[in-house]
Structure 1
Amino acid sequence: MAFVGRWETETQEGYDEFCKKIGIPDDIIEKGRDYKLITEVTQDGDDFSCTHIYPTDARVTNNFTLGKECDMQTIGGKKFKATVNMEGGKLIMCSPNYNQVSEISGGKLIEIITFGSVVLKRTSKRI
């Protein structure tokens, strides 16, 4: 239940390169660079819902059950299949080209998202 709540982005590393790699237009990248992304996480047993609220008020919600393959969507609208597992207190999502490791460290939500060879690291505070 450590992930449950609302989180607001504090820092991002690799944002521009990551967004370009997943096909986000330059004008949207510019708008989002300093935007405080809101992430809302709910949990019911092994079932999770994660909603990202973006600068254009766009929302992307991914629902998943630990250990089961599910349909996911990136900020750029690309759909893919992935499986999320909980390992050592970390949520680990694996798919062929898009992977994410999320953990709570020092009261912060740390997300490391990899698409091909590009990495985005996002740190968020609880709000």
Structure 2
Amino acid sequence: MSFSGKYQLESQENFEPFMKAIGLPDELIQKGKDVKSISEIEETGDNFKVTVTTGSKVLVNNFTIGQETELETITGEKCKGVVMREGNKLKVTLKGIDSVTELVDENTIAHIMTLAGIVYKRISKRM
């Protein structure tokens, strides 16, 4: 299955505790908790372009599976990481956050981030 497509956030769990744990200010957490972000994924072989639009904020990351690259985190920091593919999952660890993006079925993506035991789960549906 290909990750390529546009997905809209349907639901999320543990948004506030996770955002607090990564140091986001309360004001931004309150603004962001009800925004339905849109993720657009372009997959060409092992090359990916992921664009996440949340309100007026646009985050774009380009990477190649298995190669070190600079990625921007949800806090806007840039750091190096290696994205690995395991079947229908993309995995990377950035600044102590384990991130797994899983293609659950052809229309659903689950993005799970874990930091210090706090698990933040996002479910997005193909548009």
TM-score by length of 2: 0.90
After TM superposition, give the deviation of residue 96 of structure 1 in Å. 5.2
- Between the aligned partners of 2:38 and 2:116, the Cα distance in structure 1 is 25
Structure 2 contact 2–43 (Cα < 8 Å) conserved: no
SS at structure 1 position matched to 2:83: strand
- Between the aligned partners of 2:100 and 2:126, the Cα distance in structure 1 is 18
- Between the aligned partners of 2:88 and 2:69, the Cα distance in structure 1 is 20
**In the alignment, residue 116 of structure 2 is paired with which amino acid?**
G
The residue aligned with 2:115 is 115
Q: Deviations over 1:57-109 (max 9, x none)?
A: 11111111000011111121122211111112211113451221111114310
Structure 2 contact 68–80 (Cα < 8 Å) conserved: yes
Tell me the number of residue pairs that the alignment of Structure 1 and Structure 2 aligns.
126
The residue aligned with 2:65 is 66
- Between the aligned partners of 1:43 and 1:16, the Cα distance in structure 2 is 30
Please show how residues 83-94 of structure 1 align to structure 2 within 5 Å: 83-94=82-93
Stretches of structure 2 that go unaligned for 5 or more consecutive residues are none
SS at structure 1 position matched to 2:23: coil
Q: Deviations over 1:25-73 (max 9, x none)?
A: 2122111111111111111211101111113x11111111000011111
- Between the aligned partners of 1:59 and 1:13, the Cα distance in structure 2 is 22
SS at structure 2 position matched to 1:36: coil
- Between the aligned partners of 2:95 and 2:27, the Cα distance in structure 1 is 28
The residue aligned with 1:42 is 42
Instruction: Identify if the C-alpha distance between structure 1 residues 96 and 19 changes in structure 2 by more than 3 Å, giving closer, same or farther.
Output: closer
The residue aligned with 2:53 is 53
Structure 1 vs Structure 2 CA RMSD: 1.5
- Between the aligned partners of 1:85 and 1:67, the Cα distance in structure 2 is 5
SS at structure 2 position matched to 1:71: strand
Structure 2 contact 90–101 (Cα < 8 Å) conserved: yes
Stretches of structure 1 that go unaligned for 5 or more consecutive residues are none
- Between the aligned partners of 1:2 and 1:43, the Cα distance in structure 2 is 7
